[in-house]
Homo-oligomer: A and B are copies of this chain.
Amino acid sequence: MAGRFLVVNFKAYQQAFGPQAVEIAREASRLESRLPVRVILAPPAPLLGRVLEAHGDVYLQHVDPVGFGAHTGRLPVAAAAMLGVRGSMVNHSERKMVLRDVEAAVRALREAGLESLVCADTPGEAAAAAYMGPTMIAVEPPELIGTGVPVSRAKPEVITASLEAVRRVDPSIPLLAGAGITSPEDAVRAVELGASGVLVASVVMKSREPPLVLRGLAEALATA
């Protein structure tokens, strides 16, 4: 039961910038206090302050592997530490970096005392991520992202092969499943395959009642 993770990537959906952002944060806070599940939210950078007021378990969607300085439109890891977030997503399918920058970001986050969630398209990329020693890895076949076709049904072998690949390097790193997760059953199925949780986006952000959907997923993960 320990070590279940529900990560919500707000992406740049319209709802990510509206009142839903805080509603989701409040529900996440309630869920985290009563269930053995970490509910990590990744809002757009301008919403960090508002979301952090309601829920402390927040990640950036992306961080730049640079130090403080003359960088316009970039967010250094050291700044992330000042903002009160717990960590950052790195290398999301929609924000891919060359591997050496992924590695630099993971290292800088660790040195700043922050967590890192590295996204991978494939078992091979998950293996590469494992060598970097991130806090967590999420595997998401990009062709399923946003489709509503859950990876845990359509490509369970991607989850199991990624688990195998990560375990060979470091069995202590939790692996999350992502892409197409649209129901509590999909999340349960991912856990049954060996995942430590799920990374979701549209299923929460584009629903009419995001807090309700969030609760359903968290409760399913708690009892899986």
Interface residues in chain A, defined as those with a beta carbon under 8 Å from any beta carbon in chain B: 9, 11-14, 16-18, 44-46, 48-50, 60-62, 66, 68-76, 78-79, 82-83, 89, 92-100, 103, 121-125, 127-132, 142, 145-146, 165, 168-169, 201-202
The answer, among B12, B75, B103, B124, for a CB contact under 8 Å with A127, is B124
Instruction: Say which residue of B44, B73, B128 sits within 8 Å of A94 (CB atoms).
Output: B73
Q: How far is the CB of A199 from chain B (nearest CB, A)?
A: 11
For chain A, what secondary structure do more than half of its interface residues adopt (helix, strand, loop), or is it mixed? mixed
Question: Given A46-B49, A83-B17, A165-B131, do A11 and B71 touch, yes or no (CB 8 Å)?
Answer: yes
Number of copies: 4
- Please give the distance in Å from A175's CB to the nearest CB on chain B: 15
Query: Which single member of B48, B75, B98, B128 contacts A12 (CB below 8 Å)?
Result: B75
- CB pair B121–A128 under 8 Å, yes or no, is no
Contact A66 B123 (CB under 8 A): no
Which residues of B lie under 8 Å from residue A122 when comparing CB positions? Answer: 99-100, 103, 131
